Structure 1
């Protein structure tokens, strides 16, 4: 460029005088105001005297750059947590999640400085470290397995800190503190969240020549590439507060920065040690720390939230002179207690979920449960607790690398438990008091069998309801929602389906929020499972109306929307690895209706848009209106791109993704369930789905049914639920199972479990749609009563809510529909009922009321409270 050029300080001065907001990137200084660049022409000419027309091109380029920068700033606010200057909310949130403070906010009790230099002081509830040489403040207590949470604020300028964990102190050494550290890197290198071994082996992950031992240099390139990924590279908020969370379970070490996992590594060098925080030694610099918490592991939720219920046998049969078969009627997780047999010799107890030829199947298919425990006669008086055999994966706290989080343990005092219906006692005499044997079944301590009820004119649907309701009860045994007896860990999608059904079957549901917190600390790998965390939080908020609970967890949810994988058009991109492994669509793989995976995936993007829509709603609820506006803008962009890019105009339905003409049912019922189908395309998508069979798993069937019930296809939905085909809940109940299955049939998943709650979707579908009760405002302050009867003649039931039960009883005869409704005293309801052809209006308690006929339904203008009878005329 000819002529004089402004230096950056001059340009910053002129821009600052006019606009007051200066951003510097790549050596250029710009002022961004309300999302656009502010150019200070008067000062620009005054200081620069530039007349060359080439400047026009530069200015236009800077305008574009500024708009791009503003967009990045906006997205940065909603794609990762932002921790405010006020620490109180985070403190309360961590306490509510079961953490113990390491710092009391008042003094340094429980901490010590092993060095002769360095100063630590408490200022406004924060620990401030000052020094002119590096030092560490460490706890007085050692810890082994734990999850530690620390918030760090680096000073301006050169700065480096970190969280020491399982570290050691050598009082006689110059470098007194050594061991594991989670790095907080304020330099342009951006290795925050890295795994460093202080004063010992150097960098572990990432690793680099000259700073790492040879064993770690083998993954040097891989680890550096991992830290070059934008999600990891940009995890640190350089000029604000950052939450570091470090989890140590056996030899597995995980480090997270602001909700982004940066390290998952196995190292067995240290099993126990102190927690520490670091000042790097820059003279005059103050390092700030707050909200220092720890949760010692393992955590066993069942200790406080689950009870063992003694159950008598429902049938006892002497099979032969050595074996007695006992039936407890339904499967449950537990073990047995029995009188100690007298005499000498040994015997055994066989536990099973399945019979074959009148005996427990000792070689059952797939992962159907069977096990045996030896017993000995005599030697003691009283009763024995006979534990079930231990499945190693159900107690594993450190499984395969990059595989499962820790299993949810049950209390050691129980003895081991497993799901079983039958036991065979082998080796005891015929006169042994078998009638005194009891199963100790584990259920939620607050479970109320009378909280919910459903019955209708279709007996098969009634049987399905009983199966699914009991399935929810039976799988509360761990105190959080787990995947039955598979690995005994929560999975996000499983937990969400379980949560919906727990709300509609029980009246004291704290397990949902407890499971949400567990999963935020122990997330799993599938792509769509992350947005399910947003769904879980939204469902809990709508159920409980607890704004404070939501506010305490809102920021952490930002990392669950998949926004970090989205592009300029608002749509999420899937890498080759995502397409091959992490994008689920449905599970097991054979249930995907031949879905074609592409870089822009219809199902993944449907989840992304739905999650952002709910985030916008929750952002408003917690007073984050600026966040809400950005979410809403992003949703608008993504929806427009979704429709333009993924809808097949010729076929009138959605294709699986960009680059394929294949259209699965999943690519259509997920958008329909999530409200993404424009009104003018609705009939085509719904009509096409009405012609399809249940070509999906029990998991995806939840959303297929949601799509049908919500869009006037209730008759189709009910028909699929009770169909004679093997992909239906009728097939499940006809099999004789008493807990829902992980898959429709063994042929679809040969290793399936017979005790999996995600197969129990009718437990929520029947109350929410057939009875028609759903919350329309947080905490059920307002309900929506919208029965979807299909071709049923009548239905009645009780739907639990935090305000009390809703009683519903409806009948449809010919063209008339009559609904009897009883609401809790402080609840109001928006009511709509089917509008058969020939009906002309609505009566409430025999009096005409104003109602609008729309899409085959009568929608009442006024809300209803208390007890009322609503009928069409």
Structure 2
């Protein structure tokens, strides 16, 4: 059994354990609601890049290989009628794909299914055979199971007398999975049901109404037809709609990434046989090089991210990249040729041979292979190697606008950090979706969310975030807290774009990402032994957890859960699902009360790591603070405790640590941590000479870390959002909040991109605080400005504005528009 299948089973069993006694409102918000007329699903599938298998008008592209059975189109649906079993199948075969079909069973005894990679023998009695995703209307409730029609019968679940011996070894675990409430109750018996089947090489997965039911490997069929089934009950009508397919692999970079030619910064001869070429910064790409002339001979190009003793490091630590490609002189060709980077199988595999994981994001074949490198050594070149002989083809988002954003302040180290982090976001757009650097080239939810936040604040036409969201909804990963990050991604995209239709099309699928299926009657999420040992992350790598103690009720996991529920409530209201919003809000209230009662240590004034331990990590405190879960009368205590702590977390968790500090008035501490001496800060990164942010603070904290990891670029969003202080306060930036956090800096200025145009901010802090703002013409902003007890108010052109002073800040009553100059004095 694959590790993902084991995870599905354990999750399902955990659901069974936790299902009793839940909030009676919870069922309406735990799984996708049925799309009664199918229009939202239809538009959503089109927007996510799927192609219709059925045009809604006739049966073009389909055929019935049987002499019996009737198929007809009724109101945009396919209806199957007959008195004997038959299948309607596509005329086209498919190999690797994701197919989605909605099925509505008739009343009474009924059984249907979705055939995939199936075969047709027109001369045989049983004409259609092969893989089938089961739609089981009986009390057995095996819908979503994997069946092998007219061949080996039940694969998953398996059972004696109905499965071949090779599958019976899975009988107990497969039946246990299908007995769990999550899977057993996934089918809408009298409604529409969405089946999604993904086939990549030998890997098959099935989902029913958003619930994963099967993850299995089988090598029997690599391609075949798609088919839908009538089970043969006389007079019964089986209905099908929204039949879509997406052929795989999808290569996002083909539509959204451009290869940019870059000349070298320096070309230096190392010895008679070797020349070192420096392109100034790391980028993902390859090179074009003049075809070497002369007598026949062999040469080699060495690509590297790291130097050692003035040469490309050919044995770098961790996953710092190095590779080499050969060339031949005297080939008889003239002009230039592309020298591809060497291929790392992890960056191209679609179904891992030893472990189940989502497919790597491929780059276009026409590019030839790419990798991250800054330096190239040319070895074996005949004669002098001149700068004009070589160009790097670097891959960046096609719509990247270098002038979209800017940041500068009185601290030169912060300026260098901004430059590093902004370029890190640009350089990691090479794949067309947000990937985890160059280790696997796989999107992960938390990585993508941090990347998304920083992309919004550095570029001005960001489409990659929504594209990455859709990719991850189809290719999710395993950590517990990574699922709620999908809610965060959707909420951030809605606040950025204001696209209500986009949100409406994806809202229902987000219900599976809130961790509601693991919550109990008190509203808190439980963690099984496997969750505690593997899937609950808290931070990554493991040694960055500040000695966090894992228990069955985990403070960090529950903080993510509650924040996701809050955002789901807001999104539900935005699209008119008020009953859902009220159910989410009720659950939030219940969970918050339980969270505070169960996890807060009143004697210490801080949060414990979980129920059953007295240990308190910084993670158990800054995550609740960042998510607004700490009651007002407890905030100072938590802040004071955190004020004595250093950066005992990874660059990933530091995003939230810094957010908590900036938001609650500890901006000076945040800046001090960002620029701290030692090896646990962004100052250390920039002083190391790297040109793309790292996955960890240093190799000693994660020996296999990437040197091209965008989640290490958090200051790219922290500086505009907090030091400059610009954040959206309503969807689509219709209104903004301007809340600068000086943190001891003397001045800062910059340009913050929004979909409505840039916000220009320039502030200075001396005897008074002065700020100049220039807003887009159709945006209004509220002002929250720093002050002291000695200040009397906020002034514009000498006129005092209506404002309230609280907690060291002046809150201006009325929104401002256009260009203004203000002074707090």
Using structure 1 for the length normalisation, give the TM-score. Answer: 0.91
* 1:635-650 alignment runs, 5 A limit: 635-650=588-603
Q: Distance in 2 between matches of 1:758 and 1:509?
A: 17
The aligned counterpart of 1:113 is 64
- Using the TM superposition, give the Cα deviation of residue 161 of structure 1 relative to its aligned residue in structure 2, in angstroms: 1.1
The aligned counterpart of 2:442 is 489
The aligned counterpart of 1:350 is 302
* 1:172-321 alignment runs, 5 A limit: 172-321=123-272
- Using the TM superposition, give the Cα deviation of residue 186 of structure 1 relative to its aligned residue in structure 2, in angstroms: 1.3
The aligned counterpart of 1:730 is 683
Q: Residue by residue, what CA displacement relative to the aligned partner does 1:197-250 show, whole Å, maximum 9, x if unpaired?
A: 011001111100000000000111011111122222222222221111000000
The aligned counterpart of 2:796 is 844
The aligned counterpart of 2:363 is 410
Question: Paired residue for 2:518, among 565, 576, 600?
Answer: 565
Root mean square deviation, CA, Å: 1.1
Contact 1:312 1:436 in 2 (8 A): no
Q: Does 1:781 align with 2:734?
A: yes
Contact 2:22 2:521 in 1 (8 A): no
The aligned counterpart of 1:437 is 390
Moved more, 399-408 or 109-118: 399-408
The aligned counterpart of 1:696 is 649
The aligned counterpart of 1:125 is 76
Q: Distance in 2 between matches of 1:598 and 1:237?
A: 35
Q: Distance in 2 between matches of 1:507 and 1:430?
A: 46
- Using the TM superposition, give the Cα deviation of residue 298 of structure 1 relative to its aligned residue in structure 2, in angstroms: 0.4
- Using the TM superposition, give the Cα deviation of residue 554 of structure 1 relative to its aligned residue in structure 2, in angstroms: 0.5
* 1:615-626 alignment runs, 5 A limit: 615-626=568-579
Q: Does 1:517 align with 2:507?
A: no
Moved more, 513-522 or 81-90: 81-90
Q: Distance in 2 between matches of 1:529 and 1:488?
A: 17
Q: Distance in 2 between matches of 1:664 and 1:380?
A: 64
- Comparing both chains, which one has the higher relative contact order based on Cα–Cα distances under 8 Å and sequence gaps of 6 or more? 2
Q: Residue by residue, what CA displacement relative to the aligned partner does 1:616-663 show, whole Å, maximum 9, x if unpaired?
A: 000001111111110000110000000001111111100011110000
Contact 1:654 1:668 in 2 (8 A): yes
Q: SS at 2:462's partner residue?
A: coil
* 1:3-18 alignment runs, 5 A limit: none
* 1:153-164 alignment runs, 5 A limit: 153-164=104-115
Question: Paired residue for 2:495, among 527, 538, 542?
Answer: 542
The aligned counterpart of 1:142 is 93
- Using the TM superposition, give the Cα deviation of residue 403 of structure 1 relative to its aligned residue in structure 2, in angstroms: 3.1
Moved more, 413-422 or 84-93: 84-93
Contact 1:117 1:131 in 2 (8 A): yes
Q: Residue by residue, what CA displacement relative to the aligned partner does 1:533-584 show, whole Å, maximum 9, x if unpaired?
A: 0000000000000000000000111100000110100000111111111000
Q: Does 1:821 align with 2:778?
A: no
Q: Work out the number of aligned pairs and report it.
A: 805
Q: Distance in 2 between matches of 1:293 and 1:125?
A: 14
Q: Residue by residue, what CA displacement relative to the aligned partner does 1:332-353 show, whole Å, maximum 9, x if unpaired?
A: 0000001101012110000000
Q: Does 1:457 align with 2:410?
A: yes
Q: Distance in 1 between matches of 2:212 and 2:37?
A: 25
Contact 2:109 2:137 in 1 (8 A): yes
The aligned counterpart of 1:62 is none
Question: For structure 2, which runs of at least 5 residues remain unmatched after alignment?
Answer: 1-18
* 1:5-44 alignment runs, 5 A limit: none
Contact 1:327 1:422 in 2 (8 A): yes
Q: Residue by residue, what CA displacement relative to the aligned partner does 1:281-324 show, whole Å, maximum 9, x if unpaired?
A: 12222111110000000000001100000000001100000000
Question: Paired residue for 2:559, among 586, 600, 606?
Answer: 606
Q: Does 1:89 align with 2:40?
A: yes
Contact 1:367 1:751 in 2 (8 A): yes
Q: Distance in 2 between matches of 1:713 and 1:69?
A: 43
Larger Rg: 1
Q: SS at 2:785's partner residue?
A: strand
Q: Distance in 1 between matches of 2:121 and 2:67?
A: 13
Question: For structure 1, which runs of at least 5 residues remain unmatched after alignment?
Answer: 1-67
The aligned counterpart of 1:596 is 549
Contact 1:777 1:783 in 2 (8 A): yes
The aligned counterpart of 1:585 is 538
* 1:43-58 alignment runs, 5 A limit: none
- Using the TM superposition, give the Cα deviation of residue 361 of structure 1 relative to its aligned residue in structure 2, in angstroms: 0.6
Contact 1:321 1:429 in 2 (8 A): no
Q: Does 1:707 align with 2:660?
A: yes
Q: Does 1:748 align with 2:748?
A: no
Q: Distance in 2 between matches of 1:328 and 1:554?
A: 44
Q: SS at 2:652's partner residue?
A: helix
- Using the TM superposition, give the Cα deviation of residue 367 of structure 1 relative to its aligned residue in structure 2, in angstroms: 0.8
Q: Distance in 1 between matches of 2:796 and 2:587?
A: 43
Q: Residue by residue, what CA displacement relative to the aligned partner does 1:363-421 show, whole Å, maximum 9, x if unpaired?
A: 11111100000000132111010000000010001114653200000000000000000
The aligned counterpart of 1:30 is none
The aligned counterpart of 2:3 is none
The aligned counterpart of 1:499 is 452
Q: Distance in 1 between matches of 2:518 and 2:181?
A: 10
Q: Does 1:864 align with 2:813?
A: no
Q: Distance in 1 between matches of 2:67 and 2:367?
A: 50
* 1:629-668 alignment runs, 5 A limit: 629-668=582-621
Q: Does 1:835 align with 2:787?
A: yes
Q: SS at 1:105's partner residue?
A: coil
Q: Distance in 1 between matches of 2:597 and 2:791?
A: 40
Q: Residue by residue, what CA displacement relative to the aligned partner does 1:794-828 show, whole Å, maximum 9, x if unpaired?
A: 000000000000000000003x1111000000000
Q: Distance in 2 between matches of 1:232 and 1:811?
A: 59
Decide whether aligned partners of structure 1 residues 653 and 221 sit closer, same or farther in structure 2, where only a CA change above 3 A counts. same
Contact 2:292 2:382 in 1 (8 A): no
Contact 2:23 2:521 in 1 (8 A): no
Q: Distance in 1 between matches of 2:524 and 2:21?
A: 19
Contact 1:672 1:707 in 2 (8 A): yes
Q: Does 1:377 align with 2:329?
A: yes
Contact 1:395 1:409 in 2 (8 A): yes
Q: Distance in 1 between matches of 2:819 and 2:23?
A: 53
Q: Distance in 2 between matches of 1:845 and 1:239?
A: 67
Q: SS at 2:521's partner residue?
A: coil
Question: Paired residue for 1:552, among 488, 491, 505?
Answer: 505
Q: Distance in 1 between matches of 2:55 and 2:403?
A: 44
The aligned counterpart of 1:52 is none
Contact 2:78 2:239 in 1 (8 A): yes
Q: Distance in 2 between matches of 1:638 and 1:723?
A: 37
Q: Distance in 2 between matches of 1:111 and 1:365?
A: 55
- Using the TM superposition, give the Cα deviation of residue 597 of structure 1 relative to its aligned residue in structure 2, in angstroms: 0.5
Q: Distance in 2 between matches of 1:401 and 1:186?
A: 36
Question: Paired residue for 1:359, among 311, 324, 342?
Answer: 311
Q: Residue by residue, what CA displacement relative to the aligned partner does 1:112-166 show, whole Å, maximum 9, x if unpaired?
A: 1111111111111111111221111111110000000111111222211111000
Q: SS at 1:151's partner residue?
A: strand
The aligned counterpart of 1:673 is 626
Contact 2:488 2:564 in 1 (8 A): yes
Moved more, 417-426 or 224-233: 224-233
Contact 1:100 1:294 in 2 (8 A): yes
Q: Residue by residue, what CA displacement relative to the aligned partner does 1:671-709 show, whole Å, maximum 9, x if unpaired?
A: 000000011111111111111111000100000011111
Question: Paired residue for 1:772, among 704, 722, 725?
Answer: 725
Q: SS at 2:101's partner residue?
A: strand
Q: Distance in 2 between matches of 1:274 and 1:81?
A: 28
